[in-house]
Amino acid sequence: MIKQNGMKSMGPGPNMSADIFHSDYREFPFWWEAYTPQSGNLIDIPRGVRVAIIGAGYAGLATALELSKLGIDAVVLDAESPGYGASTRSGGLVGGTASVKKPLIAPAPDSDHAARMTSDAGDGLKLLERLIDEEKIDCGWHKTGRFTGAWSKSDFRRMKAHADKLNSLGNANAQVVAPEDQRSEIGSDFYFGGLLTGEAGHLHPALYFQGLLDACQRRGIAVCAKAPVENLQQADAGWLVKTSRGDVRVGDVVVATNGYTGGLTPQFQRRLIPLQPYMLATEPLSADLAKDLSPQNRSFADSRRIVTFFRLSSDGKRMVFGSRVKWRDMTPTEMAPLLYDVMIERYPQLKGTGITHAWTGNVALTLDEQPHLGRLDGLHYALGCNGSGVAMMTYLGTQLARKIAGQTNYRCAYDTGEFATHPLYNGRSRWFLPMIGNYLKMRDWIDRRWR
Ligand SMILES: Cc1cc2nc3c(=O)[nH]c(=O)nc-3n(C[C@H](O)[C@H](O)[C@H](O)COP(=O)(O)OP(=O)(O)OC[C@H]3O[C@@H](n4cnc5c(N)ncnc54)[C@H](O)[C@@H]3O)c2cc1C
């Protein structure tokens, strides 16, 4: 039931229709209805452990978990509640392939590097499945594949070669879907066919996070909420990590702050551009409508430069839809009507369906559009998800733990020793974002109409 006359709280902007907002509307991540990040009883900061991990998202928890399995004790410190960052706010789409396309301003990875990244991305998906299985994480994991809709005819023509490349680089189980066949994948005629990737699916991101947190706590790992790290001092052979709730002496520090990286680590802040994708969830749909939208319960993305990503909720009852429409900062409630229009373009049958939730969170972009793992100024890091980190940041955290433990079989294609920065970005003002956003929008517009 759509609320007709505005909302109880947080109304849309002056020129935006309130008609789309359900009477239960909240500016709140839909996933938090099942699990809200919480601080609980604050546990004390330990005085000394081997490793301090800054940031309790997938990357930080996965590092701590693997270190514990390797017999190394760690503390995880988060400025807010564990899971407050992107890890409980995402779309929950999970893929097992790497991005090997040419980045906007950096060279494309060579074929050897692309093959190693693809192999690692496949390993990331396997790791996620193993963790879900071993830790008995009930997070609605559906390995139902991903349909990437072709935004333009030329995108579709390129998809066959792309499918072949993905299959040869790794076992992506990719194939093209002709326009006349796409109705069996998606209840939409919006796309010019698409690419189906078998090694993919979707999960409930907050329940997956909760499962990882439970696994850490079962192993006695200290995960400290409300403990912003305010200062890092090199001391003896290690570090003195100063938090607002006390100091801890450690041998190694891991930075796992991704899109929330701040002035504590300026060397990473200027290598990571925070960006906010926006999301909405609809009211529960009829079973017939849900089946029509997603006959195979796949996850969905498209080949547009400004990517759109969506899927049914884990219980199959709602549409959960994400993208970004404008490039100035807006609240989720202000962005929701614009996002709704993008959804209706793809799914006209959702017109009139109310939305119950809208939210956002931070991802981190890097110049080469790839995630990075490594060591800089003595600090270990797993950073730069570029919008896709459910499996990848879990994987990088796990690999980083193996590296810190000095495992002889450690290898990671994302540990390149290079982490580019740009002289025109100081880590604070994102003055160039509207320019790049509008450029990408224009290219998308041209492609859709003429190519
Ligand atoms: C709206 C949205 C949709 C997304 N959709 C998808 C998707 O469908 N599929 C996918 O794969 N990925 C998706 N992502 C990306 C994915 O959520 C992230 O890549 C992933 O969660 C990053 O995990 P992380 O552990 O690196 O960082 P986060 O989970 O962001 O954790 C970083 C933590 O660092 C903490 N922190 C920062 N500074 C300090 C400090 N000084 N002291 C202590 N703590 C600090 C923060 O409080 C935060 O909790 C999406 C992200 C968003 C925001």
Domains and CATH numbers, the chain: 24-144+199-276+362-420 (3.50.50.60), 146-198+278-360 (3.30.9.10)
- Give the pair of three-digit tokens for residue 26: 């909240």
Q: Which helix (H) or strand (E) holds 53?
A: strand 51-54
Give the pLDDT band (50/70/90) at residue 10.
Answer: very low
Q: Pick the atom of ligand 1 nearest to 205's CA.
A: 17
Average pLDDT over residues 58-81: 98
What is the 289 CA–ligand 1 centroid distance (Å)?
A: 32
Over residues 137-190, the pLDDT tens digits come to 999 999 999 999 999 999 999 999 989 988 887 778 899 999 999 999 999 999
Give the pLDDT band (50/70/90) at residue 17.
Answer: low
CB 62 within 8 A of CB 17: no
Average pLDDT over residues 345-356: 97
**Residue 206: is its pLDDT beyond 80?**
yes
Average pLDDT over residues 204-232: 98
Q: Which of 95-109, 387-401, 433-447 is predicted most confidently?
A: 387-401
> Strand 51-54 vs strand 21-27: parallel, antiparallel, or unpaired?
unpaired
What is the 330 CA–ligand 1 centroid distance (Å)?
A: 19
Backbone angles phi and psi of 443, in degrees to 5: -60, -40
Q: Any idea which residue has 């001092």 for tokens?
A: 233
363 lines ligand 1 (CB under 6 A): yes
> Strand 299-302 vs strand 146-149: parallel, antiparallel, or unpaired?
parallel
Residue 18 is predicted with a pLDDT of 56
- Residue 372's DSSP bridge partners are 383
37 lines ligand 1 (CB under 6 A): no
What is the 304 CA–ligand 1 centroid distance (Å)?
A: 23
Over residues 98-142, the pLDDT tens digits come to 877 767 777 778 888 888 998 899 999 999 999 999 999 999 999
**Residue 312: is its pLDDT beyond 80?**
yes
* Alpha-carbon Rg for the chain in angstroms: 22
256 lines ligand 1 (CB under 6 A): yes
